């Protein structure tokens, strides 16, 4: 007899469910039926339970609107992006968060090698320290992206799969989860796959809680960065002067992964501004603002680790600079120049 693959709580909820408008349900969608088949074959889920769950899920047009790139994006602007995350409100909130959770942050830093200010900055950029975690019902958001949005269907199909697996592992109704329009959850905005792979029970209470308390989020952010190559004690980035005649476009096109060794950096004549050149490998980062001189930085392994959280050099630099502001405001020496 095949075991029930969803929590008892969900089975009870579904037993009393009377169905939804067929136009808003996924249970007859061809892609959704293929998903159900894979889940039953690969993970032992019961077909009828999954169909009932998909009947409860809603098509969310707002999710499609939010994830669809605008037809005209305009020019990239580092100064505009930076201003969203380096204001007094976010810095003051980060200092309060750090002081309130000082012991937890120190413990996470000692265990994983990631400075407290980096952990705080990521949570600050992601959710303003837990203030804005999203209110989209996650099953519906991910089902919409998995079955209604072909450009990224494969990614979100995997996240929907991981959401059902996560619910089974945590003995929760998957409809209890809510978060961003893209399915990211809680203080750290982890996708379900990241929760399953990188979340840690940092308070030791036997469960992962990203919703009501930041302790597990603090440990999990540090664990995520460590798992993606954070090098304890090494710098993140340094601003540089780039001499005329250097093929900056070619160096940037080489990608975000650090491949420039220290000898190459010196031979190219790159000069650090307000910091030292590190001996580790680096990548050239351009921070472009229309009408202003482009900022050039060398991003090291730890910069790359931050981009594993969000694949954007603007994102990684905003985390780094917010962390620098927090470290300065906290009254300790600045870390990772």
Chain-centre distance for alpha carbon 3: 33
DSSP output for 89-119? HHHHHHHHHHHHTHHHHHHHHHHH---HHHH
Say what the pLDDT of residue 332 is.
55
Integer Cα distance of 239 and 273 in angstroms? 5
Q: What are the tokens at 63?
A: 């999710």
Our count of domains for the chain comes to: 1
Residue 234 resides in a domain: no
Contact partners, residue 23, CB within 8 Å, separation at least 6: none
Say what the pLDDT of residue 48 is.
94
Residue 51 resides in a domain: yes
Q: What are the tokens at 207?
A: 């469960």
In 3D, which of 158, 177, 169 has the Cα closest to residue 39?
Answer: 158
**Under a CB-based contact definition with an 8 Å cutoff, are residues 212 and 114 in contact?**
no
- Indicate which CATH number applies to the domain containing 48: 1.10.8.350
Give the position of tokens 């969803």.
Answer: 6
Residue 25 resides in a domain: yes
CA distances from 50 to 4, 14, 296 (A): 11, 10, 50
Say what the pLDDT of residue 32 is.
94
**Under a CB-based contact definition with an 8 Å cutoff, are residues 113 and 233 in contact?**
yes
Does the annotation mark 126 as catalytic? yes
Residue 140 resides in a domain: yes
CA distances from 132 to 59, 185, 311 (A): 23, 10, 21
Residue 200 resides in a domain: no
Residue 19 resides in a domain: yes
Residue 106 resides in a domain: no
For 160, the domain range is 8-56+134-184
Helical ranges in 135-184 per DSSP H: 138-148, 153-170
Give the position of tokens 């950029």.
Answer: 125
Q: In tens digits, what is the pLDDT along the chain, a chain of 337 residues?
A: 333 444 444 443 333 333 334 345 687 788 999 999 999 999 999 999 999 999 999 999 999 999 998 876 678 899 999 999 999 999 999 999 999 999 999 999 999 999 999 999 999 999 999 999 999 999 999 999 999 999 999 999 999 999 999 999 999 999 999 999 999 999 999 999 999 999 999 999 999 999 989 999 999 999 999 999 999 999 999 999 999 889 899 999 999 999 999 999 999 999 999 878 999 999 999 999 999 999 999 999 999 999 999 999 999 999 999 999 999 998 754 444 3
Entry pTM: 0.89
Q: Which of 126, 137, 159, 161 is catalytic?
A: 126
Q: What are the tokens at 4?
A: 């029930």
Residue 102 resides in a domain: no
In 3D, which of 257, 299, 330 has the Cα closest to residue 91?
Answer: 330
Integer Cα distance of 290 and 63 in angstroms? 30
**How many helices (H) and strands (E) in the chain?**
16, 6
* b/e code 283-320 from CB counts within 10 Å (16+ = b): bbbbbebeeeeebbbbbbbbbbbbbebbeebbbbbbbb
Burial of 204 (0-12, 13-18, 19+ CB in 10 A): exposed
Chain-centre distance for alpha carbon 73: 22
């Amino acid at each position: 007899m095949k075991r029930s693959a969803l929590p008892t709580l969900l089975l009870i909820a579904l037993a009393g469910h009377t169905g939804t408008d067929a136009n808003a349900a996924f249970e007859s969608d061809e892609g959704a039926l293929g998903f159900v088949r894979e889940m039953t074959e690969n993970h032992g889920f019961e077909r009828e339970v999954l169909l009932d769950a998909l009947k409860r899920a809603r098509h969310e047009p707002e999710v499609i609107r939010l994830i669809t790139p605008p037809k005209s994006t305009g020019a990239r602007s580092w100064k505009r992006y930076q201003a969203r995350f380096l204001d007094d409100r976010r810095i003051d909130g980060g200092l309060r968060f750090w002081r309130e959770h000082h012991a937890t942050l120190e413990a996470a830093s000692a265990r994983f090698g990631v400075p407290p200010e980096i952990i705080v900055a990521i949570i600050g950029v992601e959710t303003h320290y837990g203030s804005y975690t999203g209110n989209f019902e996650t099953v519906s958001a991910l089902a919409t992206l998995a079955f209604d949005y072909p450009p990224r269907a494969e990614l979100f199909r995997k996240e929907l799969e991981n959401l059902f697996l996560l619910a089974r592992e945590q003995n929760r109704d998957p409809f209890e989860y809510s978060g961003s329009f893209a399915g990211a959850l809680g203080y750290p905005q982890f996708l379900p796959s990241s929760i399953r792979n990188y979340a840690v029970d940092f308070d030791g209470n036997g469960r992962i809680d990203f919703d009501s308390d930041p302790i597990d989020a603090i440990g999990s952010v540090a664990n995520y960065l460590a798992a993606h190559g954070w090098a304890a004690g090494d710098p993140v980035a340094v601003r540089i002067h780039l001499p005329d005649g250097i093929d900056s476009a070619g160096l940037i096109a080489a990608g975000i992964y650090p491949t420039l060794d220290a000898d190459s950096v010196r031979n190219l004549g790159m000069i650090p501004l307000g910091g030292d050149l590190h001996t580790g490998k680096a990548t050239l980062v351009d921070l472009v603002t229309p009408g202003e001189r482009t900022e050039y930085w060398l991003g090291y392994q730890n910069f790359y680790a931050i981009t594993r959280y969000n694949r954007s050099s603007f994102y990684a630099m905003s985390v780094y600079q917010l962390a620098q502001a927090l470290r300065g405001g906290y009254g300790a020496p600045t870390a990772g120049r």
